[in-house]
Amino acid sequence: MAASHAAGLTLCAVAPRPPWGCAVVPVTEHVEWTEAAHEALAGRVAAATGEAPGTAGARVLAAAECLRSAGLAPDTPLTVLPAQRDAWTVLAAGDGPRIATLVTSLRDAAGPVVVAVLTEGRS
């Protein structure tokens, strides 16, 4: 089982077999990057979605947290897959795990959050 807690929400993920992971990340206007690759990926997410840098950055931070909670390196290279569903952005680690991310609002949260779930190689 993987779990993440932020903005008053606890998200848990379970699956029949690993890898699996999850994350909840509040959206902020500015992200302090520790990984240059994450900053570059956030730029690609923003270009693909038309989102503000802080929103795209929260998606990338959530994806990195999903990788970490699944026992994978948080700096695993990711690509942005073409959008298939409104509001969802899926990131892929090669032919491996997929990380589905959703920006949403929570009733008592101060602002939007990104909810992300990592599963085995399909979305």
The per-residue pLDDT for range 67-102, each reduced to its tens digit, is 998 999 988 999 999 888 888 999 999 889 999 999
pLDDT digits (tens, 9 = 90+) for 42-76: 999 999 999 999 999 999 999 999 999 899 998 89
What's the CA gap between 76 and 68, in Å, rounded? 10
What's the CA gap between 18 and 30, in Å, rounded? 33
Give the total number of structural domains in the chain. 1
Residue given tokens 């032919």 in the structure block: 95
37-70: burial string, b at 16+ Cβ within 10 Å, e else:
ebeebbeebbeebebeebbbbbbbbbbbbbbbbb
What's the CA gap between 21 and 111, in Å, rounded? 23
Q: What is the span of the domain harbouring residue 103?
A: 2-119
